[in-house]
């Protein structure tokens, strides 16, 4: 039986927990998958490395509306893929080798483990590992619907779709969330015939209703979108795949060379044995942790057991996992002076076309909590000078604020570089900066696209105060 001061299950954000503090102590890092976790290998980083070439390809259509004739002559899929994974695979392998061979105090286990007791783990090969402190950072995996044909060759998840041998001519994407919508934009731009199929009546349905509706319309103008369609089966047909759906009581048949299943992700906690130990779990299977990232059992912290990332939060965002890791680095080293994780204003972006970014409450959430005290505004990108330059007819900024406090409650953007434009709004919410002060205090560059944010702030019905900037 091997004993460690710290055992980390998962090599994504959990890998960053091994700081110089542990140089004189024994650490185990355990991961049976690809070293580096979801974001590096199959998530945020490679997908965005595909998104950018897709944006360049899509600019041909946008340029035509401005009187510029560009020509898209096709995409070198293999070249794009190999450039991306040539870089990522090398980083993953280097990280694995560093942990396995270059640090005397660190032992790398490349097999599955499960809990025997609160501080004992057993590997798939039968070895026992004990540790004073254990961090569960096992990430998440794609969910596959239970329908006939789901395991056929040609049916992929986000884990495998980016390594295809060639660009598919016909691609059916199942799902209406951020993964499905990002890949739909990429493949459609690079030349695939894309059909995105969603069970509900709108794409990105978890977002503010105005953003969801606007994106559904925008997406349908770029690739084929089918809504309110339930998958019944997938079968082999004429050298490809045939998908049968029920849509409004009638059959919908689609043919594809490749199918991408992007219907959600589930935490990798079910095989760890945490339920048998009585650890608290949410309905989705993620661990319940307190503000200090300590795993709970019956609402109380389990001594020495911590969680982070997709295994222990509901956001499933890398920047949240990274913040949790920073909090946990401190708390592991200072058990008597722990610091809490601040989850008040978690932003997110969807790198689809058009881009989406959001933070805070949706209008429905804000009105449920604050009633008539909520004021809202929707500002069109096209209402600004830079929007005129772009001939933008889609982009919008939606802001929600509290009339009495003057504070932002939510910000929801769809359009060009939404993930950049939202950043000052995130900072304003984090720092309790009032709307009128934010709108009138700093200079806003004219005619930058950021004027659309300024104009949205100015349009909110927040009563003026004598102390407000002019």
pLDDT tens column, 422-459: 999 999 999 999 999 999 999 999 999 999 999 999 99
Q: Residue 101 carries which DSSP code?
A: I
Mean of the pLDDT values across residues 205-231?
Answer: 98
Say which residues have a Cβ less than 8 Å from residue 10's Cβ, sequence separation at least 6: 30, 31, 37, 135, 136, 137, 138, 139, 309, 311
Residue 191 and residue 200 in contact, taking contact as beta carbons nearer than 8 Å: no
pLDDT in tens, 150-173: 999 999 999 999 999 999 999 999
Say which residues have a Cβ less than 8 Å from residue 160's Cβ, sequence separation at least 6: none
| pLDDT band of 210, cuts 50, 70, 90 | very high
Distance CA 53, CA 403 (A): 43
pLDDT in tens, 408-425: 999 999 999 999 999 999
Mean of the pLDDT values across residues 109-117?
Answer: 97
If residue 266 lies in a helix (H) or strand (E), which one and from where to where? Answer: strand 265-267
Is 101 marked active-site?
A: no
Token pair, residue 202, equals 């709108």
Indicate if the pLDDT at residue 217 is higher than 90: yes
Q: Residue 347 carries which DSSP code?
A: -
Residue 269 and residue 281 in contact, taking contact as beta carbons nearer than 8 Å: yes
Distance CA 65, CA 29 (A): 53
CB neighbourhood size of 423 (10 A): 14
If residue 129 lies in a helix (H) or strand (E), which one and from where to where? Answer: strand 128-136
Provide DSSP, 32-45.
SS-TTHHHHHTSHH
Residue 109 and residue 29 in contact, taking contact as beta carbons nearer than 8 Å: yes
Sort strands 2-9 and 27-30 into parallel, antiparallel or unpaired: parallel
Sort strands 265-267 and 374-380 into parallel, antiparallel or unpaired: unpaired
Token pair, residue 85, equals 């994974």
Which pTM was predicted?
0.96
Residue 302 and residue 295 in contact, taking contact as beta carbons nearer than 8 Å: yes
Residue 446 and residue 456 in contact, taking contact as beta carbons nearer than 8 Å: no
Residue 162 and residue 34 in contact, taking contact as beta carbons nearer than 8 Å: no
Which has the closest alpha carbon to 449: 397, 412, 377, 399?
397
Mean of the pLDDT values across residues 197-218?
Answer: 98
Residue 229 and residue 199 in contact, taking contact as beta carbons nearer than 8 Å: yes
| pLDDT band of 68, cuts 50, 70, 90 | very high
> Measured in whole angstroms, how far is the alpha carbon of residue 370 from the centre of its chain?
28
Considering the candidates 101, 237, 334, 446, report the single residue annotated as catalytic. 446
């Amino acid at each position: 039986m091997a004993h460690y001061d710290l055992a980390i299950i998962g090599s994504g954000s959990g890998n960053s927990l091994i700081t110089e503090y542990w140089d004189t102590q024994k650490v185990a890092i355990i991961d049976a998958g690809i070293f580096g976790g979801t974001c590096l290998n199959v998530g945020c980083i490679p997908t965005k490395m595909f998104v950018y070439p897709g944006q360049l390809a899509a600019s041909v259509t946008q340029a035509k509306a401005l009187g510029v004739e560009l020509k898209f002559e096709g995409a070198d899929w293999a070249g794009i893929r190999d450039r991306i994974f040539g870089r990522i695979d090398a980083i993953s392998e280097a990280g694995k080798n560093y942990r396995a061979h270059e640090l005397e105090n660190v032992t790398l286990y490349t097999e599955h483990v499960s809990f025997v007791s609160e501080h004992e783990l057993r590997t798939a090969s039968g070895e026992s590992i004990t540790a004073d402190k254990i961090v569960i950072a096992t990430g998440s995996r794609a969910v596959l619907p239970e329908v006939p044909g789901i395991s056929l060759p040609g049916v992929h998840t986000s884990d495998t779709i980016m390594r295809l041998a060639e660009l598919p001519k016909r691609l059916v994407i199942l799902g209406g969330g951020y993964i499905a919508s990002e890949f739909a934009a990429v493949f459609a731009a690079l030349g695939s015939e894309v059909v995105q199929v969603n069970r509900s009546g709108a794409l990105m349905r978890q977002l503010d209703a105005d953003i969801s509706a606007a994106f559904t319309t925008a997406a349908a103008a770029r690739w084929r979108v089918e809504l309110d369609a339930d998958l019944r089966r997938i079968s082999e047909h004429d050298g490809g795949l045939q998908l049968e759906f029920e849509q409004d009581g009638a059959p919908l048949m689609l043919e594809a060379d490749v199918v991408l299943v992007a219907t959600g992700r589930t935490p990798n906690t079910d095989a760890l044995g945490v339920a048998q130990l009585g650890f608290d779990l949410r309905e989705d299977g993620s661990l319940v942790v307190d503000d200090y990232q300590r795993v709970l059992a019956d609402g109380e912290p389990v001594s020495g057991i911590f969680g982070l990332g997709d295994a222990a939060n509901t956001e499933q965002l890398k920047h949240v996992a990274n913040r949790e890791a920073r909090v946990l680095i401190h708390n592991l080293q200072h058990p008597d002076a722990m610091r809490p994780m601040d989850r008040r204003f978690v932003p997110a972006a969807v790198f689809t076309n058009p881009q989406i970014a959001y933070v805070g409450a949706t209008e429905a959430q804000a009105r449920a909590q604050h009633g008539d005290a909520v004021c809202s505004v929707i500002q069109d990108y096209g209402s600004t000078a830079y929007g005129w330059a772009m001939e933008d007819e889609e982009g919008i900024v939606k802001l929600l604020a509290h009339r009495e406090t003057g504070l932002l409650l939510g910000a929801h953007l769809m359009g060009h570089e939404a993930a950049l434009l939202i950043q000052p709004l995130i900072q304003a919410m984090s720092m309790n900066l009032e709307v009128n002060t934010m709108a009138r205090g700093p200079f806003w560059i004219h005619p930058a696209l950021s004027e659309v944010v300024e104009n949205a702030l100015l349009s909110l019905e927040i009563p003026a105060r004598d102390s407000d900037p002019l």
